[in-house]
Amino acid sequence: QKEVEQNSGPLSVPEGAIASLNCTYSDRGSQSFFWYRQYSGKSPELIMFIYSNGDKEDGRFTAQLNKASQYVSLLIRDSQPSDSATYLCAVPRDNYGQNFVFGPGTRLSVLP
């Protein structure tokens, strides 16, 4: 049974700072990792995903994988108040990307 853990927060950072969100996963064989953003009362939307072969940068967002310690990080540079949301980490249940095990999410608050 795969498990995904996240600190529920809230994580508070000042505007313009770097927000660092972490997610640990139980299955050492996991090969892809997804980050979703969910605004209060809204549906999750994909920010980015990475495969086990490397990190990824997309604009202000960077996803990094530490396979040895089994955690994946999402860094948000130049944080904006509009980044205030809950960030969900998800790992597919199998290596075909079928289904996802979601973490409980970390609530991020960016203070103006």
Partner 1 sequence: DADVTQTPRNRITKTGKRIMLECSQTKGHDRMYWYRQDPGLGLQLIYYSFDVKDINKGEISDGYSVSRQAQAKFSLSLESAIPNQTALYFCATQDTSGTEAFFGQGTRLTVV
Distance CA 47, CA 58 (A): 9
Token duo for residue 82: 């509009």
**Can you tell me the distance from the alpha carbon of 22 to that of 69, in angstroms, rounded to the nearest whole number?**
12
Which range touches partner 1 (CB under 8 A), out of 12-20, 41-49, 66-74, 77-85? 41-49
67 lies in the binding site for partner 1 (CB under 8 A) = no
Nearer to partner 1, 7 or 17 (CB): 7
Instruction: Output the CA–CA distances (angstroms, integers) from residue 14 to 19, 29, 53, 112, in the order listed.
Output: 9, 36, 32, 6
- Give, for 47, the enclosing helix (H) or strand (E): strand 45-51
Considering beta carbons, is residue 31 or 64 the nearer one to partner 1? 31
> Does 21 help bind partner 1 (rule: CB under 8 A)?
no
Q: Does residue 9 touch partner 1 according to CB under 8 A?
A: no
25: which 2 tokens?
Answer: 């996963």
105 in contact with partner 1 (CB under 8 A)? yes
53 binding partner 1? (CB under 8 A):
no
Residues that bind partner 1 (CB under 8 A): 4, 8, 32, 34, 41-46, 49, 88, 92, 96-100, 102-105
